[in-house]
Amino acid sequence: MIGALFAALDFPAAPILLGYVLGPMVEENFRRALLLSRGNLLVFFQHPISASFMALCALLILAQLFFGLRAFLRDREAGARLTGG
């Protein structure tokens, strides 16, 4: 059922499968890191390698939001021009 929904919405299968396989491992290791640091989230920013990965993730998320918002505004503006408003 979910596969049919993803196929109808034209989702690529590879990232979904990768998330399904790697998701539990990432969650378990995230939980382990928080237990070792006694719940301190700053442990992910204390070392340069982990801080650069976190910064890269934040940059990628912000870029996706920016490009999505830009495409939305461009489409809305094109629709307004077509309707004459």
| Token pair of 53 as six digits | 């990965």
Question: What is the average pLDDT value for the chain, to the nearest integer?
Answer: 87
pLDDT tens per residue across span 48-73: 998 999 999 999 999 999 999 999 98
Return left, alpha or beta for 26; rule: phi > 0 is left, psi -120 to 50 is alpha, else beta: alpha
pLDDT of residue 85: 59
Whole-model pTM over 0.75: no
Residue 33 burial by CB count (10 A; 0-12/13-18/19+): exposed, middle or buried? Answer: middle
Percent of the chain residues topping a pLDDT of 90: 42
